[in-house]
Every structure is written in C-alpha cells, then in structure tokens.
Amino acid sequence: MFHLFLKGGPIMWPLLITSIVALTVVIERLMFIVREKRRRQPEVIESILGNVEKGNLDEAIRSGRGSGDFVAHTLVYALEHRGSSLSSAILRAANWELQRFNRGLSVLDTIITLAPLLGLLGTVTGMIRSFGMMGAEELGAPMAITGGIAEALIATAFGLSIAIIALIPFNYLNARVEDARHEMEDASTHLELLLQKKSDS
C-alpha cells in the first residue's frame, strides 16, 4: 500500500493530510456522540416537565440545573428566560447545543468534496507527465508510458477512497444532529404547551 502511495506522485501528500484530518474529525465526533449519550438523563427531563405541569417552575429549574443532558440545558435556559421571550430563549439554547453537535462537520464535508478533486488533479498532472514522455527518445519504451498512466490513476483511486470512507461517518453524524434537533424541538414544544395551559387556566 505504501509503495502504491509513493507511486502516486506529489499530490499524494495533500491527500494524506486530508485523510488524517478526516480521521481526526471522525474520531473526535464519535467520542463526542458517545459522551453525550452517556450524559442523557430522561428522568431529569420528565422531572422538569412534571414540575412545570404542576406549576412549580422554580423547582423545575432546580431539578434540571447541573444536568449534563443537552435537552435539559435547553429547557432550563428557556425557563430561566421565559419572562422576556420563551420562544427566543428556546431557540437560542437549541442553537448553542446544535453548534456543539455540528462542530467539525463542515471540515468533513469539505474533505469529502476536496479529496476526489485532489485525486483528479494528481491524475491529470500524471497524465501530462506520461504524455510528455512520448518524445522520440521514449517511443521505444511503451511500458514506461503505460506505467506512468497507471501511476497517475492511483491518485484518483486514493482520493475517491478517502471521500467514500469519510461519507459514511459524515451521514451518521448528520443523522445524530437531526436526532438531537428533534428531541429538543419535541421537549420544547411540550414545555410551551404546558406553560400555555398554565397561563390559560
């Protein structure tokens, strides 16, 4: 494999860097997802909403304060700032949490697009070198020309491989962001309905 890498030309080094960056982002994001999953406390969310339903807003805030659950963070922040605008407080808290979930995904998205382009660039430059060998002194060595073309295609293969491998965790991480968004939206809507019911009664 390393022998093929060296034969791919100078463009292989930028491809190596992009693969390392992609791997670093994927590992960090997967560790983040695992950490957030361990911090989930559905019982705390139920306690917050239960206290709101009973009208104990201060107790609801106390029960959720200090929790590591991102949904609980959103609800507590919304309750603490309900006096100015509950919906704006919910939106602001949810955006903070989603920023944490989205961190690094733009880098991964860029790499998925960039890696095949770098590979294609390496192939084009390699083909130019190969056809440049088709001078009079090289016509008697067709193996050198075909070998150069094969080496040029290695860059595209590596670039496509990086993009394909990075695409799978990218889609998985995007799905986790959407799951987090839906959970916060569901809990926030429940909170708004409970507060609306309390104000109407």
DSSP single-letter state for residue 135: S
Tell me the C-alpha distance between 144 and 142, whole Å. Answer: 5
Contacts 24+ apart (CB under 8 A), 15-22: 15/115, 15/118, 15/119, 15/122, 15/155, 15/158, 15/159, 15/162, 18/111, 18/114, 18/115, 18/118, 18/162, 19/115, 19/162, 21/107, 21/111, 22/108, 22/111, 22/115, 22/162, 22/165, 22/166
Determine how many CB atoms are found less than 10 A away from the CB of residue 167. Answer: 14
Chain segment 57-110, per-residue pLDDT in tens: 999 999 999 899 999 999 999 999 888 888 899 999 999 999 999 999 999 999
Tokens of 85: 């605008």
pLDDT of residue 197: 80
pLDDT of residue 136: 46
Q: Is the pLDDT of residue 129 over 80?
A: no
Of 26-35, 127-136, 158-167, the poorest mean pLDDT is in 127-136
Chain segment 133-190, per-residue pLDDT in tens: 665 455 555 555 565 676 678 888 899 999 999 999 999 999 999 999 999 999 999 9
**How many CA atoms, within 13 angstroms, populate the side-chain half-sphere of residue 191?**
31
Q: Is the pLDDT of residue 53 over 70?
A: yes
Look at 17 and 2; give whichever has higher pLDDT: 17
Q: What average pLDDT score do residues 107-114 get?
A: 96
Residue 31 CB contacts under 8 Å (≥ 6 apart), including other chains: none
Look at 30 and 9; give whichever has higher pLDDT: 30
DSSP single-letter state for residue 77: H
